[in-house]
């Protein structure tokens, strides 16, 4: 690389309009999805009730957006393609913004880097069209257009071909376009959207969302079912909370209905889809107690407030916002979601049971199997006697039918627990961990270790909040050798650990002495607990608040104090566990977001055996 000649003084010059527009396009139009976002937002600002989007080759060769909005007059077309010309604001108050667009940059930026044409017609006006290629605008001309506006963008970045080298594959760009349209469709449930791929001779409809009907929550639920899926709405909680001028609405999924990546988190502020770091951080904090770090919640949340409480003019692509009081917005999200999740009680997502049914589904029989309806008790008794070996058919004890279809003979007393309780009555334990319970309408399988882990965790939190966690002194303190860095990290929070019933002291060098442990945990592996606490502190990171880090420590402690897999439980213990689960918030999932129980209805069980 050649060094610049410092003896030559550079000349200051005014850039021409075409160069200015291309530079601005670099901020506004990052990829084809950015162009789609700007054009669809313009259509929404125009009052459209139907928006049709089409693209070819991932949007690189064609993007077309057609709407039925109020359109433009012929004389407005040249002005619409001028920089910083807009009908959205008058420029007197940049904090009082009620529209998607307000910068007046989208259309001139698109015209600077591609071949753009606009065809429009307003009510009571003649239709007109105009084109611009690489910043060169043609005069407006009459056109027999329908009411509304159609914007066609061909050969994106043809005027700046170097940008094409940074584009991803057609499939990836098409996926980004689909995500943009879906997010805008969620923000406007009363508007119809279609998205089509017209790359070849047979156009393919990629996405369709008809205008929803009814009240806001009903319309939003209908739109969410079409965008995210019916499974989400079946396993989501309604959110409706308000605090000091901020109104939060939407749906949040149960922790057991989570994803491996943050791809299904839809956040809107005043109807504007955003990807704001502060809001996403609040979302993680709200689920931190019920999800592990590698799982991500599924939500669709909408914050509405007065325009002067939020600044939308902080990012060229308008994908971030700034609240006047960010702590208020964060607190509203965290408290509303935690309250809703706690109110869900022991509920777990229905998809868990569906996955279990799929795993258990027997292969289809080669020919239709004979299906026998449930006979009446008298017919069943006669059938039993006919099938009995000779000489035993008259034995009333061995071969009499049960009085009810659900009655059966086993070593478990039938009154071992209430079947009409949500989690039923315990009947057995298999593999020294899984509890089988019978309910009035089916059965429940409970992971005893995962369930008890959540129960112990909640008990520890209650004790800490009420009067601190009681500790028990070790008869012989345990000396634990650690790396210097781990030893220092542990001793730095020793006072907070003491409040949790875990008392440690420095023992010289890189060793610590474990003197007391939480009484509720009973006999535990102190060395293993300390190592797990260090792992959790490292995973939390230095940026995590003290409360979040202490909750993480409590979660690790609960894991060490819960029922271990391999322990045989009595029926009374199993039922006590079920009853406590029903009374404990968040017991539908363990501390890491895994389900604690699976529910199967009697109809689903009978389908497995071909009875329905």
Dump pLDDT digits (tens) for 143-181: 888 899 999 999 888 777 777 777 888 999 999 999 999
Whole-number pLDDT of residue 242: 94
Using the predicted structure, report yes or no on whether residue 102 has a pLDDT greater than 70: no
Report yes or no: 565 and 433 within 8 Å, Cβ to Cβ. yes
Whole-number pLDDT of residue 214: 84
Report yes or no: 500 and 516 within 8 Å, Cβ to Cβ. no
Using the predicted structure, report yes or no on whether residue 387 has a pLDDT greater than 50: no
- Rg (Cα) of the chain, in Å, rounded? 32
More confident residue, 367 or 462: 462
Question: What are phi and psi for residue 350, nearest 5 degrees?
Answer: -70, -20
d(CA 187, CA 544): 32
Give the mean pLDDT of 403-429: 64
Nearest Cα residue to 83 out of 56, 100, 57, 106: 106
Give the mean pLDDT of 220-238: 90
List the structure tokens of 178: 């689909």
Nearest Cα residue to 103 out of 182, 162, 45, 31: 45
Angle between helices 526-540 and 484-492 (to 10 degrees): 80
More confident residue, 141 or 612: 141
Whole-number pLDDT of residue 483: 86
- Looking at the DSSP assignment, which residues form a beta bridge with residue 194? 52, 208
Beta-carbon count within 10 A of 108 CB: 24
Angle between helices 546-561 and 526-540 (to 10 degrees): 150
Dump pLDDT digits (tens) for 451-470: 888 888 888 888 777 877 78
Using the predicted structure, report yes or no on whether residue 384 has a pLDDT greater than 70: no
Angle between helices 32-45 and 106-113 (to 10 degrees): 140
d(CA 322, CA 309): 9
d(CA 472, CA 519): 5
Whole-number pLDDT of residue 195: 96
Beta-carbon count within 10 A of 118 CB: 24
Distance of CA 570 to the CA centre of its chain: 39
d(CA 125, CA 113): 30
Using the predicted structure, report yes or no on whether residue 309 has a pLDDT greater than 50: yes
Whole-number pLDDT of residue 586: 83
Report yes or no: 392 and 384 within 8 Å, Cβ to Cβ. no
Rank 365-369, 384-388, 480-484 by mean pLDDT and report only the highest. Answer: 480-484
Quick one: pLDDT band at residue 405, thresholds 50, 70, 90?
very low
Distance of CA 345 to the CA centre of its chain: 19
Quick one: pLDDT band at residue 57, thresholds 50, 70, 90?
very high
What residues have CB less than 8 Å from 247, skipping those under 6 apart?
Answer: 241, 303, 304, 305
* Domains observed in the chain: 17-207 (3.30.565.10), 216-344 (3.30.230.10), 418-612 (3.30.1370.100)
Whole-number percent of the chain with pLDDT over 90: 24
- 8-state DSSP, 1: -
Whole-number pLDDT of residue 100: 62
For 214, 402, 416, 445, the CA distances from 438, given in Å and listed in that order, are 40, 18, 10, 9
List the structure tokens of 7: 């003896």
Question: What are phi and psi for residue 270, nearest 5 degrees?
Answer: 50, 40
Quick one: pLDDT band at residue 128, thresholds 50, 70, 90?
very high
Q: Nearest 10 degrees: CA dihedral of 198, 199, 201, 207?
A: -40
Whole-number percent of the chain with pLDDT over 70: 75
More confident residue, 376 or 126: 126
d(CA 44, CA 50): 9
Dump pLDDT digits (tens) for 579-606: 998 888 888 888 777 888 888 888 888 8
Report yes or no: 326 and 278 within 8 Å, Cβ to Cβ. yes
3-state secondary structure 485-517: HHHHHHHHCHHHHHHCCCEEEECCCCEEEEEEE
Quick one: pLDDT band at residue 262, thresholds 50, 70, 90?
confident
d(CA 467, CA 578): 27
List the structure tokens of 308: 């002067």
Report yes or no: 192 and 209 within 8 Å, Cβ to Cβ. yes
Quick one: pLDDT band at residue 90, thresholds 50, 70, 90?
very low
Quick one: pLDDT band at residue 101, thresholds 50, 70, 90?
low
Nearest Cα residue to 258 out of 299, 225, 300: 299
Whole-number pLDDT of residue 28: 64
d(CA 325, CA 538): 30
Whole-number pLDDT of residue 6: 63
Whole-number pLDDT of residue 544: 47
- Looking at the DSSP assignment, which residues form a beta bridge with residue 278? none
Report yes or no: 577 and 446 within 8 Å, Cβ to Cβ. yes
Lowest mean pLDDT among 319-323, 381-385, 494-498, 514-518: 381-385
Whole-number pLDDT of residue 482: 86
d(CA 595, CA 579): 17
């Amino acid at each position: 690389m050649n060094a610049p000649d410092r003896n030559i003084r550079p000349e200051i010059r005014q850039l021409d309009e075409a160069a200015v527009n291309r530079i601005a396009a670099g901020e506004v139009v990052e990829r084809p999805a950015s162009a789609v976002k700007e054009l669809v937002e313009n259509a929404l600002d125009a009052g459209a009730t139907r928006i049709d989007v089409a693209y070819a080759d991932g949007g690189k060769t064609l993007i077309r957006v057609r709407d039925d909005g109020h359109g433009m007059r012929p004389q407005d077309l040249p002005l619409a393609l001028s920089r910083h010309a807009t009908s959205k604001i008058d420029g007197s108050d940049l904090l009082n913004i009620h529209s998607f667009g307000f910068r007046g940059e989208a259309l001139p930026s698109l015209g600077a880097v591609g071949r753009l044409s606009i065809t429009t017609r307003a009510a009571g006006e003649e239709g007109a069209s105009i084109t611009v290629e690489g910043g060169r605008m043609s005069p407006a001309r009459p056109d027999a257009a329908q009411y509304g506006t159609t914007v066609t963008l061909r050969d994106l970045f043809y005027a700046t071909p170097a940008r094409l080298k940074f584009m991803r594959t057609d499939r990836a760009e098409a996926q980004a376009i689909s995500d943009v349209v879906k997010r805008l469709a969620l923000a406007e449930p009363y508007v119809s959207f279609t998205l089509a791929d017209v790359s070849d001779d047979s156009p393919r409809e990629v996405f369709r969302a008809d205008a929803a009907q009814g009240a806001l929550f009903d319309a939003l639920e209908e739109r969410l079912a079409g965008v995210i899926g019916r499974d989400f709405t079946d396993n989501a909680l309604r959110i409706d909370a308000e605090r000091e001028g901020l109104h939060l609405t939407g749906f949040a999924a149960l922790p057991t209905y989570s994803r491996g990546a943050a791809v299904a988190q839809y956040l809107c502020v005043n109807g504007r889809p955003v990807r704001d770091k502060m809001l996403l951080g609040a979302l993680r904090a709200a689920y931190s107690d019920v999800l592990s770090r590698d799982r991500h919640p599924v939500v669709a949340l909408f914050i509405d407030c007065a325009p002067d409480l939020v600044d939308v003019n902080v990012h060229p692509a308008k994908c971030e916002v700034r609240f006047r009081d960010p702590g208020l917005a964060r607190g509203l999200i965290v408290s509303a979601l935690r309250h809703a999740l706690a109110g869900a009680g022991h509920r777990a997502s229905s998809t868990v049971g569906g996955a279990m049914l799929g795993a258990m589904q027997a292969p289809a029989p080669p020919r239709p199997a004979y299906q026998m309806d449930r006979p009446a008790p008298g017919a069943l008794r006669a059938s039993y006697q006919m099938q009995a070996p000779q000489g035993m058919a008259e034995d009333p004890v061995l071969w009499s039918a049960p009085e009810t279809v659900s009655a059966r003979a086993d070593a478990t007393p039938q009154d071992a627990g209430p079947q009409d309780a949500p989690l039923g009555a315990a009947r057995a334990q298999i593999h020294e961990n899984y509890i089988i319970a019978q309910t009035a309408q089916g059965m429940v399988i409970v992971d005893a270790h995962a369930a008890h882990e959540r129960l112990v965790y909640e008990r520890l939190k209650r004790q800490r909040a009420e009067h601190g966690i009681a500790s028990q002194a070790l008869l012989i303190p345990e000396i634990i050798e650690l790396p210097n860095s781990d030893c220092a990290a542990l001793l730095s929070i020793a006072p907070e650990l003491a409040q949790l019933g875990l008392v440690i002291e420095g023992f010289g060098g890189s060793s610590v002495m474990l003197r007391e442990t939480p009484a509720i945990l009973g006999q535990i592996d102190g060395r293993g607990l300390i190592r797990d606490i260090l792992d959790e502190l490292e995973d939390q990171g230095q940026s995590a608040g003290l409360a979040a880090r202490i909750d993480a420590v409590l979660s690790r402690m609960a894991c060490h104090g819960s029922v271990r897999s391999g322990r045989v439980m009595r029926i009374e213990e199993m039922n006590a566990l079920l009853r406590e689960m029903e009374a404990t918030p968040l017991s539908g999932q363990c501390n890491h977001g895994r389900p604690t129980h699976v529910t199967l209805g009697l109809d689903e069980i009978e389908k497995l055996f071909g009875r329905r």
